[in-house]
Amino acid sequence: MRIFLVGNPNVGKSTLFKELTGARIIISNYPGTTVDYYTSRMNLNGNRVEVVDVPGIYSLNPTSEAENVAVRILEGCSDKDAVINVVDGTNLRRNLFLTLDLLEKGYPVMLAVNMIDMLEGYGLVIDLEGLEEIFGVPVVGVSARKGDGIEELRSRIADRRSVSLEEVLNGCSD
């Protein structure tokens, strides 16, 4: 299993990446390009899983080299992986264009609604359960900067792992 952090530019992907993975970050150059991206590992229920900080994108129709790399990285993802779509909770409407794109392509998406601390500062609350119902995927509110919601995010990632294992087993018995 690998975990891909995907989202618009400047939504807090790298901050969340550091929260999830800690220290040992590897910077890789995507072959044939000038684009660098980060990978590291996190501990999920005793298993070391790879986490990829994917370059920021607005849609799956790339308009720059970095976006092109992001799309190519995602193309390597399978059902066993988790695509954590990091969205800026203070800019939800704009961010959800990419979410729809990812869902339409059938990626194993989870939503991490970031910047919850800023929303709290504005006295705003996002209906996370409502979003779960609309999109049919797990939705977790986080503040990557403050470290809030990270444990819940980890456990939801671990849950979706067991769900997909179950799916595999069900598939075998058919």
Ligand X SMILES: Nc1nc2c(ncn2[C@@H]2O[C@H](COP(=O)(O)OP(=O)(O)OP(=O)(O)O)[C@@H](O)[C@H]2O)c(=O)[nH]1
Find how far residue 152's CA is from the centre of its chain.
14
The tokens for 74 are 């995602």
Total residue count of the chain as it appears in this document: 174
> Nearest approach, Cβ of 86 to ligand X (angstroms)?
6
Chain residues that interact with ligand X, rule: CB under 6 A: 7, 9-15, 56, 114-115, 117-118, 143-145
Rounded to the nearest angstrom, the gap between the alpha carbon of residue 102 and the centroid of all alpha carbons in its chain is: 11
Judged on CB neighbours under 10 Å (0-12, 13-18, 19+), 95 is: buried
Identify the residue among 4, 8, 14, 79 touching Mg ion (CB under 5 A). 14
Nearer to ligand X, 12 or 138 (CB): 12
99: Cα within 13 Å, side-chain hemisphere? 24
Binding site partner of 102, from ligand X, Mg ion, none, Cβ cut-off 5-8 A by kind: none
Query: Closest separation between CB of residue 166 and Mg ion, Å?
Result: 33
For Mg ion, the closer of residues 130 and 147 by Cβ is 147
Minimum distance from CB of 132 to ligand X (Å)? 20
What distance in Å separates the CA atoms of residue 160 and residue 162, rounded to the nearest whole number?
Answer: 5
* Shortest CB 37 distance to Mg ion, Å: 9
Residues making contact with Mg ion (CB under 5 A): 13-14
